[in-house]
A and B are shown apart, each in its own frame.
Chain A
Amino acid sequence: MNMNYRTLFLALTFALLVLPAGLSSAQRIENLPGYFDFDELERIVGAETTLEVNFKGAILRMAAEAARIEDDTLADMLLKLKGIQVRGYTLDRDARKALENRIGPLFRQMTDGGWERVVRVRNDGEFVEMLIRDTTGERVEGLIVFVIGGGENETVFVNIVGEIDPEDIGRLGRRFRIGALEVL
């Protein structure tokens, strides 16, 4: 009998030690379908990022609670998200042109991997692509916006991870002053 209690105690201790680790690994933003790893993109851009923003975990919840004071809908929307990543680059005209040509294969690779292109704009030196990921067929689980604008500091990439209604993207852009999203 004593042995059974000991086994039970050991099993419970093991579960308590292992379960949180397993849960945290499953909940890691990098493991979610809507996450985009910017490392590969940085190699394609060929320049160091001049702006990097990473909102996730407690910071995102903090932003949601802060937003609740003014906008309940936005706060609820933020609580459904798992992360927001922004990368900005300072590129001259030639570098921007070269990037537009180099980035094509990445989009093909992404669409083959389950991302769906929903916006594509090529207009007078402006390049905008928006892709979404929906693995369940019920809701958008991730979104990426690539903007190569006309100015030196207007190359911005945004990845939103988590459940998001595309109609709310503009609201999110205005809240965090992400110009690339404000226009959508």
Chain B
Amino acid sequence: MNRFLPTLIAILILAPALSGCMYSREMAHIRDDIEEILDARFEREVVVTVGPRSLRAASWITGHVPDIYAQMASDYVREIDRVKVGVYQVRERPSTTELRLDKVPRFKRSGWEVLVRVEDDGDTVWVLYRERYENVRDMLVLVLDSEQLVIARVEGHLNELVRLAVADATFFKDVAAW
């Protein structure tokens, strides 16, 4: 029993941090919806979830690094609650890149809106967002090329994240001008 105790403790510690590494039902649903919208087929390669505990730990660690950029990163990460990234192999190429969300009522009903779609040299990038109580609470970034689809979902206080990023950009611009 004693032999297995350290392994069991390690699993219990790592499980919350790496939850979703093997499978994420939510990412699978998003993948299924995107397949239906684009009329394509994608096969999962890897899905990684970074949860609040890991993000808080990352924020705490970077916050203690004596470097201004690390401290900025710490402030940004603090505003993020969860990040999920899925990488999928393209099995059947989509017949269109227009993301007609109304094609899958479940997806449309869940509140996703297209913020930006850019197509360039065979690559397509979509940025979608969802509002909750008049704030942007989660974003979905889809990147599709001829071989892979990457789905990244970010949850958190994204309004505050953007405000911080703009404030920092302005600060650095002012310092450079000075």
A112 CA to B97 CA in the complex, in Å? 33
Residues of B within 8 Å of A59, CB to CB, are: 115, 129, 136
Residues of A within 8 Å of B110, CB to CB, are: none
In which size bucket is the chain B interface? 20 to 34
A52, B159: Cβ atoms closer than 8 Å? no
Residues of B within 8 Å of A50, CB to CB, are: 118-120
B117's contact among A49, A58, A62, A70, by CB below 8 Å, is which?
A: A49
In the complex, what's the smallest C-beta–C-beta distance from A60 to chain B, in angstroms? 11
B117, A52: Cβ atoms closer than 8 Å? yes
In which size bucket is the chain A interface? 20 to 34
Residues of B within 8 Å of A90, CB to CB, are: 119
A69 CA to B170 CA in the complex, in Å? 8
Interface hit among B18-26, B63-71, B160-168: B160-168
Knowing A51-B117, A52-B114 are in contact, say whether A58-B163 is a contact too (CB < 8 A): no
CB of B135 within 8 Å of the partner chain = yes
In the complex, what's the smallest C-beta–C-beta distance from B120 to chain A, in angstroms? 7
Q: Mark B33-45, 1 if CB is under 8 A from A, else 0.
A: 0000000000000
8 Å CB interface, B140-160 against A:
158-159
Residues of A within 8 Å of B2, CB to CB, are: none
Residues of A within 8 Å of B135, CB to CB, are: 58
In the complex, what's the smallest C-beta–C-beta distance from A70 to chain B, in angstroms? 6
A52, B116: Cβ atoms closer than 8 Å? yes
CB of A57 within 8 Å of the partner chain = yes
B115's contact among A49, A54, A66, by CB below 8 Å, is which?
A: A54
A54, B136: Cβ atoms closer than 8 Å? no
8 Å CB interface, A5-62 against B:
48-59, 61-62
A48's contact among B96, B129, B131, B165, by CB below 8 Å, is which?
A: B96
Main secondary structure of the interface of A (DSSP, over half): mixed
8 Å CB interface, A51-95 against B:
51-59, 61-62, 65-67, 69-70, 90
Residues of B within 8 Å of A65, CB to CB, are: 159, 162-163
CB of B98 within 8 Å of the partner chain = yes
B114's contact among A54, A58, A69, by CB below 8 Å, is which?
A: A54
Chain B residue nearest in CB terms to A86: B116
A55, B97: Cβ atoms closer than 8 Å? no
A50 CA to B136 CA in the complex, in Å? 25
Residue of A51, A53, A58 ringed by the most chain B CB atoms within 10 A: A58
CB of B75 within 8 Å of the partner chain = no
A67 CA to B169 CA in the complex, in Å? 12
Residues of A within 8 Å of B119, CB to CB, are: 48-51, 90
B134's contact among A49, A51, A54, A61, by CB below 8 Å, is which?
A: A61
A58 CA to B138 CA in the complex, in Å? 12
B159, A62: Cβ atoms closer than 8 Å? yes
9 pairs of A and B residues whose beta carbons are closest in the complex: A52-B117, A66-B166, A50-B119, A58-B131, A58-B136, A62-B159, A69-B170, A53-B116, A62-B162
Binding site for A on B (CB under 8 A): 96-98, 113-120, 129, 131, 134-136, 158-159, 162-163, 165-167, 170
A-B contacts, 15 of them at CB < 8 A, read: A48-B96, A52-B116, A53-B115, A53-B116, A55-B115, A59-B136, A61-B134, A62-B136, A62-B158, A62-B159, A65-B162, A65-B163, A66-B163, A69-B163, A69-B167
Binding site for B on A (CB under 8 A): 48-59, 61-62, 65-67, 69-70, 90
